[in-house]
Structure 1
Amino acid sequence: MNASVEQLEFQAEARQLLDLMVHSVYSNKDSFLRELISNASDALDKVRLEALRNKDLDVDTSDLHIELEVDKEARTLTVRDNGIGMTRDEVVDLIGTLAKSGTAEVRQQLKEAKNQAASEELIGQFGIGFYSSFMVADKVELVTRKAGQTEGTRWESSGEGTYTIESVEGAPQGTSVTLHLKPEDSEDELHDYTAEWKIRSLVKQYSDFIAFPIRMQVERRKQVPVEEGSEETREEVTVETETINSMKALWARPKDEVSEDEYKEFYKHIAHAWDDPLEIIAMKAEGTFEYQALLFIPSHAPFDLFDRDAKVGVHLYVKRVFIMGDCDQLMPEYLRFIKGVVDAQDLSLNVSREILQQDRQIKAIRRRLTKKVLSTIKEMQSSRPEDYKKFWTQFGRVVKEGLLSDIDNRETLLQISSFVSTHSEEEPTTLAQYVERMKEGQEKIFYATGESRQQILNSPHLEAFKAKGYEVLLLTDPVDEVWVGMVPDYEGKPLQSVAKGEVDLTSDEESSEAEREEQEKEFADLLTWLKETLSEHVKEVRLSTRLTESPACLITDAFGMTPALARIYRASGQEVPVGKRILELNPNHPLIKGLRQAHQDRPDDASVAEAAELLYGTALLAEGGALDDPARFAGLLADRLTRSL
C-alpha cells in the first residue's frame, strides 16, 4: 500500500450499519440515488450561502449543478457536485465514523422485527444516507475538495469494516461519489443502475424538485445515409448533456398542481427520511410578512427525538435562496419533529442564527406556523382518529412539553392531548371526554403520576377512587410530573393529584359528620404518638378517606414537591429540597386498629415503635419510593417475622 494511503477502521456503530446495508435489509434499493443527490444538493446550498457570506472565498457559483455519469463497461455510477466539498477531517467525521448513536438498538429491534415491512420501518426511522450506497455497490470511492482549499481527499471502502483515505492533488471543488456496482443480475432488469431509463425514472420519482440542475450525458442514435443520395443508412451516435429534473420549487407551486407522490418525495428529501409523512401542511401568507411554507408531520419519531444534540427545525429560504437548514427559530422546541421549508420574502440573505433570535418577522412567522400545526393536529384528532392516535403515540410525549413553555397555546395543547386513564385499558382519553364522564357532583379532574400504568394502578392512593368509580388519569411520562403543577385547570375544572392534598371521598350515606369526629377522637392519641415517633420522616399523621385496602399511604402537600418531581430536577443537575410528607392511615384496617391497641396497652414498648417504623417503610415502598436505610428496614422486618413464627 502507498505510504500516503492510510487505512482506518470504521467506528463500531458504523460497522454495524454497513453490515445492515451490505446485506440489504432495506428492500427498496432504488432509494440510494435519492440519498446521494440530496447530499449533493445540500453541498450546493452550502457553497452558495458561503459565497454570499464570505466575499473573500474564491469560488465560482455561476453554474452550480449535479452530474450523473455512467460507465456501462466498468459498471460504475458517479454522482458529482461542485458544492462546498469536505476537508480530510470532515470526511473522517462524517463518513468514516457515524456521528449518531442508537445503531445497536436498531440492530436489536431489527432482529426482533416480525417481517420485512417492520424491518424497513425501523430503517426508515433511523435514516442511513450515504451508507445506502452499499446496498448496490461492492466498493464506493469518494473524491472531494473543500471550497477555498487546494488539497483534496480520496476515500474508498468495500464496506467490510475498514476504509482507506489519502490526500490528492488536482481534485475539482466539490464531491464525487463513484459506486462500483454489484454484478448485474440478468433476471433483475428493474435494478440496472447503468440504464438511462432507470436513472431518469429515479430522478423523476425522487429528485425532480431539486433546485439545481441534475445533468447526465445521454446517447442519441439516428439513422443517416451512408453517403449523400444513398438509400443505404448507418447509425449515428451522438452524446449530449441533458438536464433531467424540472427544478421547480414545490412550495411555490399551487397545491392542486402538486401530486401527493411529489409531496412525499420532497418530504423524504428535506427530512432525509424513508417513511411517508402523516400530514402535509402548505401555507402562503401575504401582507405585512410574506412567506410560503411547506411543512410535514412525520409518521414516525426519529431515534434522536430526545437527543439534545439532534438537529431540529425547518429549512429557511429567502426568495428561494437557501439560508440555513434546521432553523430552530421557526418552530418551538416541542414541535421539533416538524420538517419542511419556509421561504420568506423580506429577510436579508446574510441573516444569522443570532439575528434570527431577535427578528420580529421570524417571531411572527413562528407564531403563525405554530398555530397552523396545532390546528392541523386538532383537525386530525376529530376527522382522522386513527392517524391522530398514531401521531400521539409517536409524538405525544414531546407535544406535552409545550404545556410548560407555550402559555399562549396551552388551551389548544390541552385539547389535542390524550391520556391513559382508568376508564379504558386500551383507548386513551381527551380531557373533554373525561369531563363528559365526570360523576355528578365531581368538581375536579383526578390524576396520578408514576413510572408505569401498572405501578399506578397498584398504588394505595387509587383505592377509594376505584372503589367509588371515579375516573383517574394515569400519567407515566416524566414531563407529566412537571406540567400538572403548572396547569391549574381545564375549562374551569381543577386538576387534583390523588397523592397530594386532602381528598374527601366519603358520602353522607357512608359517614356522618358526627361519626367522623368520633373516629378522630378515637385515634387522636395514636396520631399524636406516630407524628412524634416518625418526626424524622413525616410532618403530619392523619386519617384517610383514600384507602380501602392498604393500612397507610404517604401524601404530599397540595403545593408541595413530589419525590418523583424532585428526582427529575436532580437528574437535570438541580438540587431541590424535599419537605417532609403526610402519613395517612386507614382507620378500618386491622393493622391500624392493632397498632392503636398496642400503643394504648404498651406505650413505651420498643417493638411498638418498630412497628410504626415498618408501617412508614411499607407505605413508602407501596408507592414505588426508596427507603433511606433499606438494611435497617430489612432487619426489623426479619426480626418481626421471626417472632411471629
Structure 2
Amino acid sequence: MSEMATKNKETRGFQSEVKQLLNLMVHSLYSNKEIFLRELISNASDASDKLRFRALSNPELYQGDGDLKVKLSFDKITNTLTVSDNGIGMSRNDVIEHLGTIAKSGTSEFFSNLSEEQSKNSQLIGQFGVGFYSAFIVADSVTVRTRSGLSSNNGVEWHSSGEGEYTIENIIKESRGTDVILHMREEGKEFLNEWRLREVISKYSDHISIPVCMMTKVKDKKGQETEKTEWEQINKAQALWTRNKSDIKEEEYKEFYKHVSHDFSDPMLWSHNRVEGKNDYTSLLYIPSKAPWDMMNREHKSGLKLYVQRVFIMDDAKQLIPAYLRFVRGLIDSNDLPLNVSREILQDNKVTQSLRSACTKRILALLENLANNDAEKYQKFWQEFGMVMKEGPAEDLVNKEKIAGLLRFSSTKSDSSKQTVGFLSYIDRMKEGQDKIYYLTADNYVTAKSSPHLEQFHAKGIEVILMVNRIDEWLMNHLTEFNGKKFQSITKSGLDLSQFDDKTKQEKHKETEEEFKSVIERIKEYLGDRVKEVRITFKLATTPAVVVTDDFEMGTQMSKLLESAGQEVPKVKYIFEINPKNELVKCMADEPDERIFSYWVEVLLGQAMLTERGSIEDPSKFLVAINTLIVKT
C-alpha cells in the first residue's frame, strides 16, 4: 500500500482485490443500477442498530442528534446524491479497514477463478457483502464524511474516484454518523429525482426498522408546492418480522432477505414464525439459492442476526445455529434474553440453547418438507449446500437421524454422477433378505463406478451407494445405522453376501477354499507382515485380486485424507484377497518355481494396491515382476 502523508491527510492505494471489485461494479452491473441505494440504506440502518446496542451501556452516545433516521437529499446543480445517518459512525481506523480493504481470506483466489461470463453476474458481488462499493455503479467519485463518539474533532473524510487510490483526512464534523456523498456520473443522474428515489425506497427499503426520510417541498392548503422544505418519511419503518405473516407479500420477504444478507439473488425458501410460551421469540430464517464462495471455511460468519425486544445485539450469532447450517440467513428476535447480553453470557444461557435447538429443528423440517415435496428444488439445494450438510451427523447427535435422511449420494442404480439417492429411497429398493445399507467410498465417481469391489453386487443385483467426496469417509465414521439398517462398507473384511447364495454354491465355495489352502500358505510365507491376512474371495468376477481392511481399522480414504492434511497416519495393514476363478490366479497357483511365484504375487498385490490407493509402496519391485513375467510368457 502506497502512502503520502501531509499533516492528517494521506493518499492510500486500495487493496488489489478492491480494484478488481470496483472494476467489476462499474463495468458489469449497469442493468441493475438501483441496488446501490438499497445497499447504502441497509448500511445506514445497520449503523443505527449498532448505536442502539452501544447506547444500552453508554446512553451519552445519543446526545444531541435526535431520533435515529436515514436522510436522502440530492442537488441537480452539483450532481450529488447524499445518504446520511446518525448511527454509530466510524473512526479513522474503521474507515481504512472497511472502505480500503476487503478483509476476507481467499479473495484473490476467488477473483482468479472468475470467468468472463461469471464476472458479469451481479450475484457474485452479493457473496462478498461489500455493498458500499456498489455506489461506484452510478458515481464518478464518492465522498464519505463520518464521525464516531461525542467529539466533533473525531470527524474523518474519505474520498475516491474508484481508480486505485483514496484520500483520507481528519475533519470537524458537528453531528455523529455518516454522510455518503455520491458525485453522479451521467448514467446515475436519473436518481437525482424525487419520484425515482421514492420508487426505489418503496421497492427495497420499506421494511427498514428506522425512518428513511427525504427532503421535500411543503405544500400549501391548495396542494401547491411552496419554497419551504421539510424531511418527509418515505418508508413504513416497521420491522418486517414483527408484522403478521398474512400482511407480508412474497416480494417483501425477498427484499428483506437481500437486506439482511447483502445477497443480490432471491432466497430459495424461508420460514417466519412467532413462538409464545416457555420461550417468547420470533424467527425469520432463509435458505439462500446460492452458496457463498467461502462456504467451506468453517470460520465463515454465521448468517443470523440477534435482536432482543427489537434492539439489535449482534451480527454473527454463532451460538444460535450449528456450524453445519452456517449457510442459513435471517434473524431471531427474543423477548427472554437480557438487553445487555454479551457473547459470554449467550454461550451458556439456557434460553440460547433452547433457541438454538428450536431453530435447528425448524430448518431441518423446512428442508425435509422441500425434499419430500419438490425433489427438483431440493436437488438444487443439495448441489449448493450438500457438502456442509455432511458435517451434521458428527456435530449434532440429537438430530443425526434427521440429517442422515437429508443426505444425498450417487449409487449404482444409475450411470449418473449426480447425487440424488437418499438412504430412505435406497431402503425402499433393497433386495429381499438384505438387511444392510452397502456403500463404497472412493476418490471420485469414475474410480467408484469402476471399482472391482462392485463386481459381486452387480452380479447379484444389489444396489451400492457411491460416496465420492473427501468428507464421506469421515462422515461414515459417525453413522452406524439408519432407520434400523446398519451400514456396511464393501471394502471391509466383514462383508458377507453368502445369504444370497444357494446351498450348492456355498458348498462349492468351501471345496475351492480347501483346494487353495496350500496356495494361500505360499503367499503368506512370501509376503510375511506386508499384509495382515491372505484369503480366498468369491466376490470378484473378472478382477484377480483386491485388498480390504478390517472392520475396525482406518479405511483407505480416511488414511489418504489425513495424510493430505499433513498428519502422521499409522500404516494401514491390508487383507489380500484373491479370486480363484481368475486365469492369472490359476497360473500363479500352478507355478512350481518359487521365484516366478513371487513375481505373480507382486503383480497381483500391486494391481490391488493401485486399484485401492492409486499408489504402491515399491514401484520398482512391481515393474521388475511385470517385466520378468512378460519375458517368460
Q: Give the TM bin, normalised by the shorter chain.
A: over 0.9
- What secondary structure, in the 3-state scheme, does the structure 2 residue paired with 1:43 have? helix
Aligned partner of 1:627 in structure 2 is: 616
Counterpart residue identity of residue 154, structure 1 = E
Cα separation, 1, equivalents of 2:221 and 2:437: 83
Q: Does 1:643 align with 2:631?
A: yes
Report whether the alignment pairs 1:147 with 2:149. Answer: yes
- The one-letter amino acid of 1:34's match is R
8 Å Cα contact 1:17-1:103 kept in structure 2: no
Task: Determine if contact 1:455/1:624 at 8 Å carries over to the other structure.
Answer: no
User: Counterpart of 1:228?
Assistant: none
* Alpha-carbon distance change, 243 to 466 in structure 1, aligned in 2, over 3 angstroms: same
| Aligned match of 1:556 | 549
- The secondary structure found in structure 2 opposite 1:216 is strand
Aligned to 1:538: 531
Change (3 A) 1:258 1:155: same
Distance in 1 (alpha carbons) for counterparts of 2:212 and 2:310? 18
Question: Of the candidates 426, 430, 446, which is equivalent to residue 422 of structure 2?
Answer: 430
Q: Distance in 1 between matches of 2:225 and 2:198?
A: 24
Aligned equivalents of 2:531 and 2:215: distance in 1? 81
Deviations 1:348-385 (A, max 9, x none): 11111111111111111111111111111111112222
Give the letter aligned to residue 69 of structure 1: S
Q: Of 171, 177, 190, which residue of structure 2 is paired with 1:168?
A: 171
Report the counterpart of residue 181 of structure 1 in structure 2.
Answer: 184
Shift of 1:7: 2.2
Deviation at 1:634, TM superposition (A): 6.4
User: Is 1:317–2:300 an aligned residue pair?
Assistant: no
Moved more, 245-254 or 514-523: 514-523
Does the 8 Å CA contact 2:493/2:575 hold for their aligned counterparts?
Answer: no
Q: Secondary structure at the match of 2:372?
A: helix
Counterpart of 1:456 (choices 448, 454, 458) is: 448
Distance 2:625 2:26 in 1: 58
- CA shift for structure 1 position 263: 0.6
Following superposition, the deviation at residue 126 of structure 1 comes to 4.3
Equivalent runs, 1:434-583 vs 2, <5 Å: 434-505=426-497, 507-509=500-502, 512-570=505-563, 575-583=568-576
Q: Which one-letter code corresponds to 1:241 in the other structure? A: W
Tell me the equivalent position of 1:134: 136
| Residues 418 and 572 (structure 1), Cα distance of their counterparts in 2 relative to 1, 3 Å cut | same
Query: Is 1:395 the equivalent of 2:385?
Result: yes
Mapped pair 1:602 → 2:593: yes
Partner in structure 1 of residue 204 of structure 2: 206
Distance 1:59 1:407 in 2: 49
Query: CA offsets per residue over residues 447-502 of structure 1, 9 Å max, x none?
Result: 11122111111222112212322111111223321221222212221111111123
In the alignment, residue 617 of structure 2 is paired with which amino acid? D
Q: Give the secondary-structure state (helix, strand or coil) at the position aligned to 1:546.
A: coil
Please say which of residues 425-434 and 237-246 is displaced more in the overlay.
425-434
Distance change (3 Å), C-alpha of 1:633 and 1:203:
farther
The structural deviation recorded for 1:104 is: 4.9
What SS does the aligned partner of 1:111 have? coil
Compute the displacement of 1:316 (Å): 0.9
8 Å Cα contact 1:152-1:168 kept in structure 2: yes
SS of corresponding position for 1:265: helix
Contact kept, 8 Å, 2:287 with 2:327, in 1: the verdict is yes
What is aligned with 1:96? 100
Structure 2 equivalent of residue 293 of structure 1 = 283
In the alignment, is the contact (CA less than 8 A) between 1:204 and 1:245 conserved in 2?
yes
Query: What is the rounded CA distance, in whole Å, between the counterparts of 2:507 and 2:136 in structure 1?
Result: 81
Identity of aligned residues (%): 43
Q: Distance in 2 between matches of 1:33 and 1:511?
A: 79
Does the 8 A contact of 2:288 with 2:328 survive in 1? Answer: yes
SS in 2 for 1:478: coil
Equivalent residue for 1:192, pick from 190, 193, 196: 190
Distance (whole Å) between structure 2 residues aligned to residue 201 and residue 441 of structure 1: 66
Q: Map of 1:278-427 to 2, 5 A cutoff?
A: 278-426=268-416
Report the equivalent of 1:256.
Answer: 246
Does the CA-based 8 Å contact 1:223-1:236 persist in structure 2? no
| 1:22-41 equivalence runs, <5 A | 22-25=26-29, 27-41=31-45
- Output the amino acid matched with 1:174: G
Displacement, 1:538? 1.3
Structure 1 CA distance, aligned partners of 2:611 and 2:119?
A: 41
Partners in 1 of 2:409 and 2:308 — Cα distance?
40
- Say yes or no: does 1:83 pair with 2:87: yes
Range that drifts further, 346-355 or 6-15: 6-15
Structure 2 vs 1, CA of residues 252 and 236 (structure 1 numbering), >3 Å: closer, same or farther?
closer
CA contact (8 A) 1:268 1:275 kept: yes
Q: Any idea what the Cα deviations from partners look like across 1:312-353, whole Å, max 9, x if unmatched?
A: 141111111111112111111111111111111121111111
SS in 2 for 1:341: strand
Contact residue 123 and residue 263 of structure 2 kept, 8 A: no
Give 1:517 shift.
2.1
Gaps of 5+ in 1: 186-190, 226-233
Query: Could you tell me how far 1:54 is from its partner in structure 2?
Result: 4.2
Match of 1:230 in 2: none
Which deviations, in whole Å up to 9, do the C-alpha atoms of 1:149-208 show, x marking residues without a partner?
6433222221222222223333642222111111158xxxxx711111111111111111
Structure-2 change in CA distance of 1:236 and 1:56 (3 Å)? closer
Distance of aligned partners of 1:56 and 1:617 in 2 relative to their CA distance in 1, 3 Å threshold? farther
Deviation at 1:511, TM superposition (A): 5.4
Query: How far apart, in 1, do the equivalents of 2:65 and 2:157 lie?
Result: 23
* TM-score of the aligned structures, taking structure 1 as reference length: 0.90
Letter in 2 for 1:449: T
In the alignment, the residues of structure 2 paired with residue 390 and residue 70 of structure 1 have an alpha-carbon distance, to the nearest angstrom, of 43
2:394 partner amino acid:
L
Alpha-carbon contact 2:144-2:180 (below 8 Å) kept: yes
1:47/1:147 contact within 8 Å kept: no
TM-score, reference length from structure 2: 0.92
Structure 2 counterpart of 1:231: none
Query: Is this contact kept in 1: 2:544–2:585, CA < 8 A?
Result: yes
* Residues 1:8 and 2:12 aligned together: yes
1:629 Cα offset (Å) = 3.9
Cα deviation digits, residues 609-642 of structure 1 (max 9, x gap): 2442332222121124333344x35653674477
Corresponding residue number in structure 1 for 2:78: 74
Q: Any gaps of 5 or more consecutive residues in structure 2?
A: none
The alignment partner of 1:277 has SS state of: coil
CA distance in 2, matches of 1:530, 1:60: 90
* Mapped partners of 2:583, 2:474: distance in 1: 37
Contact 2:546/2:609 (8 A) holds in 1: yes
Aligned equivalents of 2:590 and 2:64: distance in 1? 93
Contact kept? 2:70, 2:210, Cα under 8 Å:
yes
**1:66–1:216: structure 2 CA closer, same or farther, 3 Å change rule?**
same
Give the superposition deviation at 1:26. 6.0
Name the stretch that deviates more: 619-628 or 579-588.
619-628
User: Aligned partners of 1:642 and 1:140: how far apart in 2?
Assistant: 76
SS state at 1:83 partner = coil
| SS at 2:606 equivalent | helix
Structure 1's 156 and 360: CA in aligned 2 closer, same or farther, altered over 3 A? same
Distance 1:332 1:224, change over 3 A: closer
Query: 1:49: Cα distance to partner?
Result: 1.1
Partners of 2:627 and 2:65 lie apart in 1 by 83
Structure 1 vs Structure 2 CA RMSD: 2.7
Cα distance in 2 for partners of 1:203, 1:544 equals 72
SS of 1:442's equivalent in the other structure is coil
SS at match of 2:183: strand
Q: CA shift at 1:139, angstroms?
A: 0.8
**Residue 635 to residue 576, structure 1, CA distance change in 2 (3 Å):** closer
Whether the aligned pair in 1 keeps the contact of 2:28 and 2:122 (CA below 8 Å) is no
